[in-house]
Amino acid sequence: MTPHPTTPTPPGSRPPGPGAPGGSGRDRPLPPPALVVVAHGSRDPRARSTVRALLDRVRTLRPGLPVHLGHIELNEPLLADTLAGLHARGTGRAVLVPLLFGRGHHVKRDIPRAAAASPLHTRVAAPLGPHPLLAEALHVRLSEAGLARADRARLFTVATAADGIVLASVGGDEAVQAAGITGMLLAARLAVPVMAAALDEEGSIATVAEQLRAAGSQQLALAPYLIGPEIDASLVEEAAREVGCSAAEALGAYPAIGKLALAKYTSALGISPQQAQGTPAG
């Protein structure tokens, strides 16, 4: 009997393995890569509960997806320990989603270094901001504090709406620049000027407040562009007192942030949310 010819395997490719097309019918599809939410870390015990609430939101949106937490600093589990634990349990792939709003030094250096040092096949997703959902979240927090009209957010009673917003960010110049883009989206929602400033840079908040007042704003509000509390919460209060204005609450576990984290995960895989279920990383 003449044997059937075989098709050579192209260079650089692998024969079908478990879960691959052409593999054994008994094989199951590969599980999706783990989603590792990378939080900043904080000495404030409220930070951990806030991040846990966001992880729960992601799990609700995508049941069955393995969702884990790793901190850059200050809190356990640290990111390196989370990745090591996943490897020890046989997880081969992970997508790291920074719970940060711009490309500061943590996104550019610390997280990629941890990913490169891990034995896992990892991808690092883009930070959460800038994004319209973050402008929505800021609008809601300002509305809750009576500092913005709620015509495009939830229905809150507004005592005194601000006519200028200082958007307080942390993480360096690039993070502030990214905050400025979200600030433009927020300004479009509120129809008042919004300017970003560095909460962790001395004099930055005061300088921006002076610029807003020079442009005609009289009733200012401070909007923390933070999950909260990544840094000492008293810094927000002190900054608000320094410039003579009220401050909204940090974004916290606002529901859309969990949705945004999941969107960054699927985007890092190059797929749509509808394709995400059971789709392996390339």
Measured CA to CA, the distance from residue 260 to residue 128 in angstroms comes to: 7
Measured CA to CA, the distance from residue 214 to residue 82 in angstroms comes to: 49
Q: Active site residue: 40, 68, 131, 139, which one?
A: 40
Q: Which of 260, 240, 135, 146 is nearest to 187 (CA)?
A: 135
Measured CA to CA, the distance from residue 259 to residue 36 in angstroms comes to: 14
Encode 65-94: b = buried (16+ Cβ within 10 Å), e = exposed: bbbbbbbbeebeebbbebbbebeeeebebb
Q: What DSSP element (H or E) covers 87? A: helix 79-88
Measured CA to CA, the distance from residue 70 to residue 207 in angstroms comes to: 35
User: C-alpha distances in angstroms, 61 versus 53, 56, 188, 193?
Assistant: 13, 9, 29, 34
- Residue 40 bears catalytic tag: yes
Measured CA to CA, the distance from residue 183 to residue 37 in angstroms comes to: 24
* Active centre residues (catalytic): 40
